[in-house]
Structure 1
Amino acid sequence: MSQSIRINEAIRASELRVIGASGEQLGILSRADALKMAEEAGLDLVEISPNANPPVVKIIDWSKYQYQKMKEAQKNRRSNKQGELKQMRFGMKIGQGDLDIKLRKVREFLVDGHKVRLQIFFRGRENAHRDLGYEMIKRIATLLENDAVLEHEPQMAGRNLSVVIRSK
């Protein structure tokens, strides 16, 4: 939790706009009156908007507020993982059946909202025929043209030819 949120006696302003435990506006009160109201309710005085004039505070249960903020942050982190980059590697001598299986898996990744890096690796003498790798990328792109678009042109990096695709 961020350290900038002040509670109870840590609040410095002399006048505060106070919001009650059930969300009702209690008006502008002195710091002492607001602390007294929070204490009577058995709750904490939490500074919600310190930059407002006067600062806005709310009478709430601090531990419950912290817990809700933590859960909200976890939910946001979980939903951000959707755009992950998956990778599928192809050898130059791949058979049609194996290619179909790998392309089916690539389509599943695309449906789930992931980007996919298609990587063709060259072994030994295959490096002398890199043009065949570019042809293979074109063939894969035409097989996936209904489902995906290329993000950039194929690039060589060492012994690998790769391209990133995303769903349409």
Structure 2
Amino acid sequence: MASKLIMNEAIKAAEVSLTGLDGEQLGVVSRQEALDLAKQLKADLVCDSLMSSPPPCRLVSRGAAKREKDQAGKEARQKDGQIKVKEIRLSASIEEHDYETKRRQAEKLLESGHGVLLVVRIQGKEGPAAKTLLEGLANDLKASGTRKTGVQLSGKQAALELLPK
């Protein structure tokens, strides 16, 4: 997994080897000078490695560093092939608003690289309704995920597993 991102005031070195927003080398400057420049350019100061002295740091547009780290983490998880599967429980007689909430929740999980196990608890003769509900939800989530399994009806529940695209 990606290591912790060291940014701005969390960088404790007295001097840093600074790279600008466009990748240009700005040389070795004091930590305070680098922080002032970052503030002036509305950017973040990000440390790439603490293993060298002075540590190499770069200016990155505000918020881009976190997105970059999140993306790298997502790619690393996908390469590992160890996708965490999160369970979302529904009922066969779900209201439209609740359905939309669960759909958005599943979409968010799929987009962040997690698998989703949709589970519908069945009581009495709700089997066909549960199957229809899961088919519809899988259809609505086509853009974010692909089916790992078909709808599985077993005793008291119906389940469907989706993997991120």
Q: TM-score, normalised by structure 1?
A: 0.48
Q: TM-score, normalised by structure 2?
A: 0.49
Higher helix share: 1
